[in-house]
Amino acid sequence: MMTYTVWTVLTLAAVIVFCTGSDPYCPNPVYDLCKCNIRQNRVIVSCSDIIIKKQIQVILENYHNIHISELIFRASDMKDVQWKWFQNMNVSKLILEDTSISFDGKSDSVDMGKTLNELFISNGELAGGLDGLRLQSFKRIQRLFLLYIDLPNLASHIFPDTLQVLELVENNISDLVTGLFSNLKDLESLSVKENNIQTVHRNLFPSVCKLTHLDMSYNYIKHLPNDFFAEMPYIKQVRLEHNKLTTISKQVWYPVWHQLHTVSLMGNELICDAKIRWIYESLEITTNLFGTCDSPAWLRDVHLLSLISEDLE
């Protein structure tokens, strides 16, 4: 009986410690500009219309020593934010919408740089470009989304090595420099859609590439180099809709064709002739192949999956 009583007391004590010490909570707000909610045991903080730098500092300090699953700023001015304001902050996901931002000061010991897993920036301004964002300060970041931001010039190795997902959408990118993504050895999903890209090269990526999903839709790509998919043993989905491609070259596609689940070429000016006959003669088409012929005239708008070898001259 004594053993049972002791065990019960210890169990209750453990429960009390767990509930009081680990449960998420929201501190009292310092401004009406921010709202804190708890959803499914996750703390989500959303702030908007902040234009005074001192207010940003006070808001951030109010959430020190709290694990925040999502920290959101909308329509705010965060230029020259001091890294030290993020000291003792534990943030998993930072979302910036319609917000300008750049970081200032040393970042080596700032906790958020060690905890941030995902950064999402949309319709904002990066003062100082990506250099001003100091991406290398985020030591554990795995997912980076930069949407509808002007980024015409990108330097190689500017992205953190830890990235697994990278989306660069409508950034006014025209040139993908040699080795741009070559340090991203764990990158699994890449999107550079809705830019002004005309040429691509295999040396954009690591020598052995872990990509499973690649989206280069809505650009101006005219052709892919023969070695583009070399050493891409995991690639499953390729999206190249609305580019300037005219053929599906065997030299380019054959090495990975058997492993692809989806290939989307809609919106290209594809010439359906003998050059693509290899698809229908040498392989059973198991790929979800999306696209239509642009020429010759008698095959215009015919879906690629509706063709047979005899159609191609």
Strands 34-39 and 42-48, bridge-based pairing: antiparallel
Confidence bin at 260 (pLDDT 50/70/90): very high
Indicate the DSSP class of residue 161: T
To the nearest 5 percent, what fractions of the chain are helix, strand and coil? 25, 25, 50
Q: What is the pLDDT of residue 231?
A: 95
Question: What mean pLDDT do residues 64-85 have?
Answer: 90
Contact 279, 305 (CB under 8 A): no
All residues at 6 or more sequence positions from 79 whose CB lies less than 8 Å from its CB, including other chains = 100, 101, 102, 127
Using CA atoms, how far apart are residues 126 and 267, in angstroms rounded to an integer? Answer: 32
All residues at 6 or more sequence positions from 178 whose CB lies less than 8 Å from its CB, including other chains = 156, 201, 203, 204
Q: What is the pLDDT of residue 28?
A: 85
Using CA atoms, how far apart are residues 234 and 218, in angstroms rounded to an integer? Answer: 24
Residue type present at position 120: F
Cα 302 to chain center, whole Å?
34
Question: What mean pLDDT do residues 252-264 have?
Answer: 94
Residue 122 bridge partners (DSSP): 97, 147
Q: In this structure, what is the dihedral angle of CA atoms 131, 137, 141, 143, given to the nearest 10 degrees? A: -10
Confidence bin at 163 (pLDDT 50/70/90): very high
Using CA atoms, how far apart are residues 6 and 103, in angstroms rounded to an integer? Answer: 54
Using CA atoms, how far apart are residues 85 and 286, in angstroms rounded to an integer? Answer: 54
Encode pLDDT of 116-156 as tens digits: 999 999 998 887 788 878 888 888 999 999 999 999 888 88
All residues at 6 or more sequence positions from 254 whose CB lies less than 8 Å from its CB, including other chains = 278
The secondary structure element, H or E, covering residue 21 is helix 2-22
**Residue 234: strand, helix, or coil:** coil
Q: What percent of the chain has pLDDT over 70?
A: 89
Q: In this structure, what is the dihedral angle of CA atoms 262, 268, 271, 274, given to the nearest 10 degrees? A: -20
All residues at 6 or more sequence positions from 205 whose CB lies less than 8 Å from its CB, including other chains = 181, 182, 184, 187, 211, 232
Contact 150, 194 (CB under 8 A): no
Residue 77 bridge partners (DSSP): 100
Residue 2 CA neighbour count, 13 Å, CB half: 0
Contact 224, 265 (CB under 8 A): no
Encode pLDDT of 165-192 as tens digits: 999 999 999 999 999 999 999 999 999 9
Q: Name the residue with tokens 């070898």.
A: 309
